[in-house]
Amino acid sequence: MATKRVDLDVLKEKYQNDAQFKAAFDRDPKAAVIAEKGLGGRDDPEVYKGAIRALGVAVTIALTGAILLAAGGREVPPVVTALGSAAVGALAGLLAPQHASSDDADK
């Protein structure tokens, strides 16, 4: 997984020369650096990739477990069905196209 590095000299220069960044940094340094460098948060593709991988593994395990239990003549516990269904729903939510909100249309 790729790691993004923060150049402290660049941030120092931006802090000294950009009043808006300075104000944001003074309020919440961590949030200001994350916003400036695109680290983490909703727009970070690595966050989505990790979530999609984890949910894909959960779906695979639930489906495989249900098939193996059913093939062995055992009853599939409702929790396996619930976990698999929840993971599929979460995947659908992550992979569905996002519609612009009314706030985005004003920009």
Give the tokens for residue 103: 């706030």
The more confidently predicted of residues 77 and 97 is 77
- Residue ranges per structural domain of the chain: 8-37, 45-97
In 3D space, the residue among 50, 46, 59, 57 whose CA is nearest the CA of residue 85 turns out to be 59
pLDDT in tens, 28-71: 887 777 777 665 555 567 778 888 999 999 999 999 999 999 99
The pLDDT of residue 102 = 56
The pLDDT of residue 12 = 81
Instruction: Give yes or no for a contact between 61 and 22, defined as CB atoms under 8 angstroms apart.
Output: no
pLDDT in tens, 1-29: 455 566 777 778 888 888 888 888 888 88
pTM of the model: 0.55
